[in-house]
Chain A
């Protein structure tokens, strides 16, 4: 009797219902080969990361043999393809962050409103019919958004700001903001729906309205996930390429004025890749150098985002 309950209560993990050691000794060779192949497939993820790091570092190091790190980080001109080449990454960084900043200014309030509405207010039917739409919006290719920014949003903005040039940072910023809103909203909403029902019920029992419950009970409890969604959204905006390459012009321009045209890191890579640069030239190496900067920036945001998510998660 005692023995029986003991075997029954032995925890069986879902992925490992069978002791591993026993299997090893009894199973035929094909099992081992299959397992090795599957492992190799899974390991390809690590190999890809290593390959990205190695390639970027290798080419970037050759780049920094010609250009000092100090010049790269402090000069305010980026003209690698000119006769008198200048390699200051600041104009590209300024363009990248101005556009990503506009995108965040658009997507944070919008995404938050959508998340609160879908998680706390929307009737079941509305939520079920709107969510597929938002997923579709996330699936629209970025090049189409680029078309939209250049030929729809910019002319629209020119009616409000008459002297807005055809290429500017405002329009792609807004479009990227709308583009990443579904992502921000869905990460925030996941965090808010993870807040236990009992908290909401307690709040309602005290006579709070839905709005009060949402803003004073659910939102504070879901803060970590909501903030993480903003940071992860920022990371996406920084890495966005086509909208910027199409609608912001491709001239590196050290300015923080969103009405002016500028190039971002990604737009510069596209611009160089469209031309035919010889392998091993300084221009060729420069896209890997700025690519490395881009990876470091997005990695930074992702790590911070994941950390915030974990660090301030309320557990119930």
Chain B
């Protein structure tokens, strides 16, 4: 069958139709090359859609909100009914405190969990169960963490709608991010480092704390920063626990005016994204500009954190020589 087809081709090639067949072949090649180039262009444009979106988004925010961002009072005024006097004092302080709680709760817990899974865990069903849970938790929508916190932290543990509740909620949410990043950087440390330490008589914990954690610190830091950057802009879970939108006071400062060291943990609060949501939900355009101002503050904070983390990772990759 194939033989006859080949014969056929040869016949046409040798006959006077040969020239046109060759021409057709060439045209086909040219057409496919052109199609190839065309697709490369389409792919490039599609890729640029993301980049352009980022740029347009940023320009749009800046055009709407730059006036507020440049005002000093914007950072040191409480929210107000009059747009010209409104500021984000209570919300940026709230965000900073919530992030502090999140960091203190999530970083040690995440690193410890990762160290266990990577260095200690025996291969059994329990380890398998933990691994499956870490994977699945990363895919749970953030608002579900809010529902968990509303039921567990706010009402069962009675932490109230406080900074502590919000910090712990976001900590649970970013835990998978930190665990995955820490595991990856532990895994990239070659076995012979561990073997050398064991050979010198180090215990497993000594190996972890004196050798593995210092080597992995860059990767861990990257994971923690990316997790925190996600937490800083996260709105849904914090709204769900019932954070207030209008806060015209700061949490009590420790050891002042009779406040205890940890009273601020249980204070009502608001955070930057909620402040932005609140202003965005109002019909007056003047408040939308305020929202844009908060948006710039949030986006600059997250971009700086993410950018730093990405830079750190590339640097570590380049420096990595075992």
Contact = CB atoms under 8 A, between A and B. Distances in A.
Interface of A: 12, 14-18, 20, 23, 27-28, 30-31, 34-35, 37-39, 41-46, 48-49, 51-52, 55-56, 58-59, 110, 113-114, 116-118, 121-122, 126, 130, 132-137, 139-148, 150-152, 178, 181-182, 209-212, 214, 232, 235, 238-242, 245-246, 266, 269-270, 273-274, 276, 279, 287-288, 291, 294-295, 298-299, 302
Contacts of A126: 44
B203 A27 contact: yes
Interface stretch (B12-20, B77-85, B252-260, B302-310): B302-310
B136 A15 contact: no
B113 interface: yes
A35 B120 contact: yes
B50 A43 contact: no
Interface of B: 32-33, 35-36, 39-40, 42-44, 46-47, 49-51, 53-54, 56-57, 60-61, 64, 108-110, 112-122, 129-130, 133-134, 136-137, 139-148, 150-152, 155, 172, 175-176, 179, 187, 191, 194-195, 198, 203-205, 226, 229-230, 232-236, 239-242, 245, 273, 276-277, 280-281, 288, 291-292, 295, 298-299, 302-303, 306-307, 310, 314
Given A143-B298, A147-B295, A151-B60, 8 more contacts: A34-B205, A38-B115, A117-B46, A139-B226, A270-B239, A273-B242, A291-B144, A294-B141
Given A41-B116, A238-B141, A136 B306 contact: yes
Contacts of A31: 203-205
B206 to A, nearest CB: 9
B121 A15 contact: yes
Contact of B134 (A14, A27, A45, A212): A45
A249 to B, nearest CB: 11
B191 A17 contact: yes
A39 B130 CA distance: 10
B232 A141 contact: yes
Nearest to A284: B150
Given A12-B191, A270-B240, A140 B112 contact: no
A139 B303 contact: yes
B191 A14 contact: yes
Contacts, number: 279
Given A42-B121, A212-B32, A273 B112 contact: no
- Dominant secondary structure of chain B at its interface with chain A: helix
Contact of A44 (B109, B233, B288): B109
B280 A38 contact: no
A30 B205 contact: yes
Contacts of B137: 45, 48-49
Contacts of A17: 191, 194-195, 198
A148 B57 contact: yes
Nearest to B35: A211
Contact of A43 (B64, B130, B143, B233): B130
A4 to B, nearest CB: 18
A282 to B, nearest CB: 16
B198 A137 contact: no
Given A14-B191, A49-B137, A152-B60, A241 B235 contact: yes
Contacts of A141: 232-235, 273, 298-299, 302
A122 B240 CA distance: 43
Contacts of A209: 32-33, 35-36
A40 B285 CA distance: 50
Contact of A246 (B133, B175, B281, B314): B281
B310 A135 contact: yes
Contact of B277 (A38, A116, A143, A152): A143
B175 A45 contact: yes
Contacts of B112: 37-38, 41-42
Contacts of A178: 49-50, 53
B116 A291 contact: no
Contact of B42 (A42, A113, A212): A113
A162 B144 CA distance: 37
